[in-house]
Each structure stands twice: as C-alpha cells, then as structure tokens.
Structure 1
C-alpha cells in the first residue's frame, strides 16, 4: 500500500484515507474486527469535533488541536483510559499518513499518553455467582440458553465476543473442554466442569431445537433467527438476569471473566495457568488479579501476624 508524497504546499487530506487506514489495520496489522472498529470510531469522533469546533483545521492539524480535543473530552467526563485509547488511535493514524507520504511530517509523533493509573477489575462474590447461576424458573428454551451461556462464561472466563461466536464443533462435552479462537486469531483450549457440561447438554437437547426448529446452524448459541447473538444483546440479558436474581450491582459479561480469574487464583491456581486460559499474551495483564483478593490477604494477616 503506497501513496505518492505530496507537495508540502498542498493542504493535506487528513480524513480521506481513513478507510485505507482501517484496511491496513485489518490486512497488514491483522487486528481484530472490534479493535479496528474502535479505531474508526475514535478517529471519526476526533474529526467530527474538529469540523464543528475548529473550521480552520482544513489546512493543518497540530498538537494544539489535539489538546483542545482532549480538553473537550474531559469536559464531557470521558475517562482517562478512553482518552488514552483515543490518543493511541490518533497517533497511529498520523503515523500511517506520514509513512505513506500523505503528510510531510507527523505532528503527533512526540505526544504523550495520559496516565491512566491501575483500574482494578470488579469481580462478583462466590455467593453472587451462585445466585446468578441458579436454574431458571420457568425453564423456557430461551431461559435455558441464557443459563447455559452464563455457566460457560463463568466456567471458562472467555470474552463475551468469543462466547456469542462459538461454533458447535468448538465444544467437546465428552472431554469437557472448549476450543476458543481469541484475539489475533490465536487459538486456546480451556477446560470446564462436568456440571457445566450437563447444563450445556440440557440446552442442546431441550432448548436449541425449539429456538431454531431443528434446522442446521454452525453456531452453538442461537437466536430465534438462527444467527449468533450480538454482544450488546447478551449485555442486556445478563443485566436482566442479575436484576431478576435480586443482585443490585450492575453486572457485565466481563465481570464474569474477572470473577473466573479472581476465584481461580483465590483457590490456589498458578498465574501461568490462568494466563493461558484467559488468552493473555502478557502475564502482567493477568497479574492485576493478584491485587484484588484483599479478603484473603486480610484473613492471612489476622491469622498469622503476632499483633493481629
């Protein structure tokens, strides 16, 4: 992918190559679809702000424009982590424009990302998990499907995007393991309990044929249209299930993933095994879960400290 270098006297076309940039991220960088979508949304938001707030930006964009953009983001109470991601998107796009010869210099080269601090993941207690995973009443086909999805999510710690896109042939109920195609098309195998296998088997026998009239579909969890569920719809479902279970806190699918990791480490699992099951490339990403088991640390301190 190559663009001829333009004259420095010609105003740069900052927005006209956005789709080519997203294509570059998909084809050459091989980033996940959701990641590429996030890049596109961040950049469209940035350029929409510039077109509305700074009409003169048609000639040149500089650091001052970016500072004004992030001042606006702060005024809108957008968090530091979201702003850091937006800055990464902006810097990557301008680096692409510079590398391809579309702009003579990269004005964003030395911009520093804001410090985001450590955001500790929120996990459910064991009692909350037990409440959430209680068998549905009445056991309608859709309720059995949702119940099975929730069990598998907690049993494997997979991402919600991985859960809703699971093919039938990825789940082995005999050996109780699931093959997951994660970020960067990296495959991992994660075991699950025999109790989770029974719940999935119950869904496959009693609910799935009724949801989609027994017609063939490659997906494990189906909607009544025979298609995979969207991430957004499963977010809604898990919120409804938590509300019906009497859980007051806001629960997201990712909270089940956090709970999976936290409870494994609390039970004595080693960090490397949890890293492999979560599909983390860097073990430092998994290590954050070692910071949140404060109850166990307090109990150990009270038990063994001489002045406890």
Structure 2
C-alpha cells in the first residue's frame, strides 16, 4: 500500500499542483490509515464501505475531532479515487461515506488595541526584533497565509508600487497592496539583513533565520507566540487569527466581499462570506450590550 501512496502523492504534486504543506498532511493521514490497516491485517483490495466506517469510528474513539476526521476522510477518499482512475482498483469504497457534520465556527478576530500591542512588542534595536516586526506587519497588513509569508523572496516586495507578490495555494500568483507602515518595517529589516543573517550565504528568501536559511511556518508561529506573551495578551493569536483579523477589520471599515476575496486569495466567495457572519455576530453583541431595551 505504501507504494500506491507514493504514486498518489507524486500525482498531487505533479498534476494537481498542491502545496508541499497539503501533500505532507495527506501523507500523514494516509500513513495513519495504512498503520490501522496493517494492525487489522486488511489488504487494500479488501477495503470496503463497512471497513471505512469502522476506521472513522476508531478515529473518534481515540479522541479526534469531527474536523480532523473529516480531513482524514478527504485524504482517504482522494486516494481511493486516484486508484480507481488509474485502474489500480475496481471500485472506490469511499464516496458512500458521508462526512461528519461540522459545527460552523466563526473565525476569531482581535481588537485593534491588541494588534497594536503585538506589533509594538519586538525590540527593533536588535536584528531579530526588526525582522519580527516586519513579518508581523506583513501578516496583519496583507492578510497572507503563514505559508505564503515564508515563501516570500526579496524580489516579491515592490516598494515603488507598494505591492507584494504572493504565491498561494496551488502556486497561484496574486499581487496584494501593502501599507506604508509595513513597508517601512521591511526596509529597516533589509538594512540589517545581509550583515546579520546571510554570513557566507546569498539567499533570496526575504525572512531568514540566524543560520541564514529561510524561516519556516513553525518558526513564525513560535515568534508570534513569544510576542503574544510579551505583550501580555491573553487571547490566543496565531498567523491564521491575524489573517482573520485583517479580513474582519476591512469588512467593518466598509470593504466589499469581492475585494476581500481577492486580497485573501479565496477561489470561492463562500469562503469569504463567513466574515459577514462574524460582523453580524459582533453587531448583535454590541446591540445587546448597549440598547436600552435589549
């Protein structure tokens, strides 16, 4: 089964143009399915509807949330669909399996005061502090994903046009505006970048670690966590929360959904429409707290 998974992952990379992050997630989910099948002594040709139902029930018993189970089911369904299309299996047992019903959770958004506290936390007298201020400004100022942030190269920042070129999911390119405050932070960081980070390397990556290599998703998450604690912010803030906050603040200031969709790189407008629910929820809360008859 492992060889079939390798073929499937190669297909995702070469033909579906999926990101390395997505392919890695698919691989982890399928490795877990293979491990379960080995323990059950079940060959791939024996996998059927009832077997998959038992697998999903097993995932639930060991504590996975509905959202995690739905993601794992997506990987399994795609895998078996690939095998059927490639004539490696006679039938696909997965489409009959329904996805677990998910609760619609509204994205978190952070108040502007907390954002200001976070952005002002790095000590910009140090090279790392200047770098961290710049990446925080870009995340909140553009709404890009953390995976898009760490893939930025020097040539992707257009100072003259005040724009950033971003390569999103499926390596799709888009250009987003960037504010003067964020650009200023990037300029200050670049003044120290070569001397403080590159050493003997000549990297094209915008954001570098202390060894001169490209920052990773995990590094950025740890950086944000550090400054959240430093700023005394009790609300959990992640790169994705900054992305949600970017979109929510735009909507509350009067931006239209289509524009926000383009800025976020959403293919489908329905992905952006959740922010209207968030805005309505916040308005309702304000109404209930302030109206004399509420």
Same fold (TM over 0.5): yes
Kindly indicate whether the alpha-carbon contact (under 8 Å) linking 2:123 and 2:130 is maintained by their aligned counterparts in 1.
no
Deviation at 1:208, TM superposition (A): 4.7
Structure 1 distance, partners of 2:277, 2:44, is 47
Q: How does 1:233-252 map to 2 (within 5 A)?
A: 233-252=219-238
- 1:286 aligned partner: 272
Q: What TM-score, normalized to structure 2?
A: 0.92
CA gap of 1:111–1:212, structure 2 versus 1, over 3 A, is same
Kindly indicate whether the alpha-carbon contact (under 8 Å) linking 2:9 and 2:27 is maintained by their aligned counterparts in 1.
yes
Q: 41-50 or 287-296: which moved more?
A: 287-296
Deviation per CA, 1:109-160: give whole Å up to 9, x if none.
3221112131211121111101101152362111111111001110000000
Q: How does 1:121-160 map to 2 (within 5 A)?
A: 121-137=107-123, 139-160=125-146
Q: 55-64 or 19-28: which moved more?
A: 55-64
- 2:33 aligned partner: 46
Deviation at 1:214, TM superposition (A): 8.0
Q: 58-67 or 280-289: which moved more?
A: 58-67
Unmatched segments (≥5 aa) in structure 1: 1-13
Q: For this pair of structures, how many residues does the alignment match? A: 293
Structure 2 distance, partners of 1:23, 1:198, is 41
Kindly indicate whether the alpha-carbon contact (under 8 Å) linking 1:21 and 1:96 is maintained by their aligned counterparts in 2.
yes
Q: What TM-score, normalized to structure 1?
A: 0.88
Pairing 1:17–2:39 present:
no
SS at 2:46's partner residue? coil
- 1:170 aligned partner: 156
Structure 2 residue aligned with 1:61, among 41, 47, 55?
Answer: 47
Deviation at 1:207, TM superposition (A): 4.5
- 1:7 aligned partner: none
CA gap of 1:58–1:273, structure 2 versus 1, over 3 A, is closer
- 1:32 aligned partner: 19
Deviation at 1:56, TM superposition (A): 4.3
Pairing 1:271–2:257 present:
yes
CA gap of 1:240–1:101, structure 2 versus 1, over 3 A, is same
Q: 111-120 or 162-171: which moved more?
A: 111-120
- 1:83 aligned partner: 69
Deviation at 1:199, TM superposition (A): 1.1
CA gap of 1:214–1:269, structure 2 versus 1, over 3 A, is farther
Larger radius of gyration: 1
CA gap of 1:65–1:123, structure 2 versus 1, over 3 A, is same
- 1:8 aligned partner: none
Structure 1 distance, partners of 2:184, 2:42, is 63
SS at 1:205's partner residue? helix
Kindly indicate whether the alpha-carbon contact (under 8 Å) linking 1:208 and 1:214 is maintained by their aligned counterparts in 2.
no
Deviation per CA, 1:196-225: give whole Å up to 9, x if none.
111111111134531224853211111122
Deviation at 1:165, TM superposition (A): 1.1
Deviation per CA, 1:37-61: give whole Å up to 9, x if none.
2111111111112212x12446611
Structure 2 distance, partners of 1:258, 1:123, is 6
Structure 1 distance, partners of 2:186, 2:31, is 41
